[in-house]
Chain A
Amino acid sequence: MNKIWIIIKREYITRVRNKTFLLSTFLFPLLMFALIFGGAFIGANGTEQRKIAVNDQSGLYRNNFKDGSAVAFGYPDQVTKENYKDKGFEGVLIVYSANQQKADSVRLYTEKQLGLGTDEAIKNQIQKINENRLLMERGVTRNTLDSIKQLSESKEALNYRSYQIKGTEIKEDNKMLALAIGYASGFIIYIVLFIYGAAVMRGVMEEKMNRIAEVMVSSVKPFQLMLGKIIGIAAVGLTQLFLWIILIFILSSLSSLFISPEILDQAQKMNETMPSMAQNNTMALKILQAKTTVFSANWALIIPCFIFYFLFGYLFYASLFAAVGSVVNEDPQEAQSLMLPITLPIILGIFIMINAIQNPSGSLAVWGSIIPFTSPIVMMSRIPFGVPWWQLGISMISLIIGFLFTTWLSAKIYRTGILLYGKKVTLKEMAKWAFRKA
């Protein structure tokens, strides 16, 4: 036990003293912030407005299209599939006929493919125009139509709130916040699994290639060496997590200094007056809002769970990474292909997580959050939405059992692999080492 402690100390100190540790610790949160707000910023400015010519044989649509952020319409004379480009448009929309019985045939021709959003915007407008036409045909006047529209789109028209019932407690449901926390924590765990898993693998490869492994295993058991490395790197990870929490706290209190509630309010008002812009601003705004209501989240559950899944998710995969590192020879390419069976479930976890965010109590989400291969990522994305205690319990227990199992398995591969040089090891051989008796 004492020897594992000595190994842990070395692994921890050499890593924490390294400059890259400091660099990555401070750059990572900045990067995250840049990613979130940068993404929102690009989303706000990135869409290009397409100019579409309308050739309306029915005359019903003329001048009824509204220009939006995605499309602008024009009504040049005699526009056809052949000449729309000369008239300065990127596409032509031809309405062939419009009679009451049959649906209109509307065709859109473009050279460049339009985005899904543009397509959707055009379809929505046609639908709306049709709806209005049908209403007007049945005797609704233009004035009535306009006043209905104004009423339904105003802020007072809708007073909607969702609540979550837990026993006798009824709590306001903050989906946006839960989504943000779920996403962020799921992603962080995903990144952690890769970064620290790879660190374990590189550490083992280093020992093997420097040929110190043989010196080491003449002093300590291979299992002690492996476990010491894994725990040492886990301690580095926890240190980094701790620093991140402090850093994020500082950053967010700084950002609330710059973004005062008044500005937030202004942004809100701007959104109302300019509906076309609203879509783009929402994401960033929602996040800012989320921050102001951040205390409504169940942090007492989220933080301990995050630390648990952070740690045990890492421990579950770390020994597998160590096993891969131990069989690799000089060629890093080999590591790539042997890593695939480990990286696949992690990537699968991210996919299930994206699904789970949309549907946190669906069966895919539930299973994904119980099976240890994906549970650290998926469960973290579900917790902010509320998870039954029994599911959380099963998930945690199976992750711990899974960790003990992978470590036991990997230790056997590691023991053989670390002293084996010059031989390319296949997955089949690794499996044989792992399951043989001894």
Chain B
Amino acid sequence: MSTILEIKNLKKYFSSQKAVDDISFSIEQGSIFGLLGPNGAGKTTLIRMITGIFYPDAGSIQLNGKKFDPVTDVINIGYMPEERGLYKKMKVGEQAMYLAQLKGMPKQEAFAQVKLWFEKFEMQSWWNKKVEDLSKGMSQKLQFVTTVLHEPKLVILDEPFSGLDPVNSNLIKDEIYNLAQKGTTIIFSTHRMEQVEEICDHIVLVNKGHKILDGTVKEIKQQFKQHIFTAEVDQLPTALEHNSFSIVKREGNNLTLKINEGYKSNDVLMHFINQQSGIVAYHEILPSLNEIFIRLVEGTPAARQFEAITA
């Protein structure tokens, strides 16, 4: 797989804050990439640089192997900001056509695409409705359609599921998978870790303008595992204690164990087997991204302090 987006040493300083301070990462084509971080970590600034809204102070952005050009690469990017916005007084169909044409699509092509997507999302009857008459979920769907209908290579979604009911959430989620399957790369920015775990292949965690974590979900979980296992046995051994582990929780025959330094998982199993306990179930508990996120971000103040910049 080829790299579609490569960011190197990107920096953006505002007068009172280092919003993005030396961040680098790369994204493979067709992957679903999670950009995570607490509020005010610099995610939006980072995204705004990738979408060409802001110019970076330093560093480079390579899109599809070439230097990113905010003017010509507009067609290659679809961006749905966290703060959704549409022209309230405009009709739904015209709105979609307008945004598609601004992306650079010719009128005929835009019309065909809009029709296609409206059919897919069962929105054909909305064409002549005004945007202000749509419910929040409906306008969210429209916003998603306008983001992807010019078939961008890179789609950036900031909190795409907020305000959506489970049915529509699934609809969008399926569409995200669909797009990825077809080779579209998706950057997915959110605080909702369970969604990230479910959807994303690769994540980057930023905090206070720095990248503090980078890797696939699997790798990261491995990296942060605390060697905790659950074991279910048919009967508890007479000598429960053993040097290889300590018990975290005990509920009847269900045990949660933490393996001690210097020991391996099999040492624990050996102990149970030697004690004639039948093992019914045994598996490792990996930390959730949520736990990792909290562990890494905890201790930093909820709101970023303003820092003096000498530059």
Max chain A C-beta neighbours (<10 A), residue from B53, B71, B102: B102
Q: What string of 1s and 0s marks CB contacts (under 8 Å) between A1-43 and chain B?
A: 0010011001000100000000000000000000000000000
Select the stretch in A213-221, A284-292, A315-323 that faces chain B.
A213-221
B84 and A14: CB pair below 8 A?
no
Q: What string of 1s and 0s marks CB contacts (under 8 Å) between A400-428 and chain B?
A: 00000000000000000001010000000
Q: Which residues of A contact B88 (CB under 8 A)?
A: 206, 210
Select the stretch in B75-83, B163-171, B184-192 that faces chain A.
B75-83
B102 and A214: CB pair below 8 A?
no
A419 and B103: CB pair below 8 A?
no
Cβ of A238 under 8 Å from chain B: no
Tell me the interface secondary structure of chain A in the complex. Answer: helix
Cβ of A145 under 8 Å from chain B: no
B88 to A, closest residue via Cβ:
A210
A210 and B79: CB pair below 8 A?
no
Q: What string of 1s and 0s marks CB contacts (under 8 Å) between A200-238 and chain B?
A: 000000110011111111111100000000000000000
Cβ of B230 under 8 Å from chain A: no
CA distance A215 to B90 in the complex (A): 15
CA distance A217 to B74 in the complex (A): 10
Q: Which residues of B contact A7 (CB under 8 A)?
A: 102
CA distance A14 to B74 in the complex (A): 25
Q: Which residues of B contact A210 (CB under 8 A)?
A: 85-88
Q: Taking the nearest CB of chain B, how far is it from the CB of A263, in angstroms?
A: 48
A419 and B53: CB pair below 8 A?
yes
Cβ of B31 under 8 Å from chain A: no
Q: Which residues of A contact B104 (CB under 8 A)?
A: 3
A215 and B99: CB pair below 8 A?
yes
B15 to A, closest residue via Cβ:
A432
Interface size counted on chain B using CB atoms at 8 A = 28
- Say yes or no: A214-B101 contact (C-beta < 8 A), given A14-B90, A419-B53: no
A220 and B81: CB pair below 8 A?
no
Cβ of B52 under 8 Å from chain A: yes
A211 and B85: CB pair below 8 A?
yes
Cβ of B140 under 8 Å from chain A: no
B84 and A211: CB pair below 8 A?
yes
Which one of A14, A213, A215, A421 lies within 8 Å of B89 (CB-CB)? Answer: A14
- Say yes or no: A218-B85 contact (C-beta < 8 A), given A6-B101, A14-B90, A419-B53: no
Max chain A C-beta neighbours (<10 A), residue from B53, B71, B74, B84: B53
Which one of A3, A212, A220 lies within 8 Å of B85 (CB-CB)? Answer: A212
Which size bracket describes the interface of A in this complex? 20 to 34
CA distance A77 to B182 in the complex (A): 110
- Say yes or no: A215-B101 contact (C-beta < 8 A), given A14-B90, A419-B53: no
- Say yes or no: A215-B85 contact (C-beta < 8 A), given A6-B98, A10-B98, A14-B90: yes
B47 to A, closest residue via Cβ:
A218
Which one of A3, A14, A213, A218 lies within 8 Å of B51 (CB-CB)? Answer: A218
A219 and B85: CB pair below 8 A?
no
- Say yes or no: A214-B90 contact (C-beta < 8 A), given A6-B101, A7-B102: no
CA distance A180 to B85 in the complex (A): 48
A214 and B74: CB pair below 8 A?
no
A219 and B53: CB pair below 8 A?
no
Q: Which residues of B contact A218 (CB under 8 A)?
A: 51-53, 74, 77, 79, 81
Max chain B C-beta neighbours (<10 A), residue from A7, A211, A421: A211
A215 and B74: CB pair below 8 A?
no
27 CB-based A-B contacts, threshold 8 Å = A3-B102, A3-B104, A6-B98, A6-B102, A14-B87, A14-B90, A210-B85, A210-B86, A211-B83, A212-B85, A212-B87, A213-B85, A214-B79, A214-B81, A214-B83, A214-B85, A215-B80, A215-B86, A218-B52, A218-B53, A219-B99, A219-B102, A219-B103, A220-B102, A221-B70, A419-B48, A419-B53
* B contact set with A: CB distance below 8 Å: 48, 51-53, 55, 70-71, 74, 77, 79-81, 83-90, 98-99, 101-104, 143, 146
Q: Closest 6 CB pairs between A and B?
A: A211-B85, A212-B85, A211-B83, A219-B102, A218-B79, A214-B81
Apart from A207-B85, A212-B86, A214-B85: 9 A-B pairs, beta carbons within 8 A: A6-B101, A7-B102, A207-B87, A215-B99, A215-B143, A219-B99, A219-B102, A419-B48, A419-B53
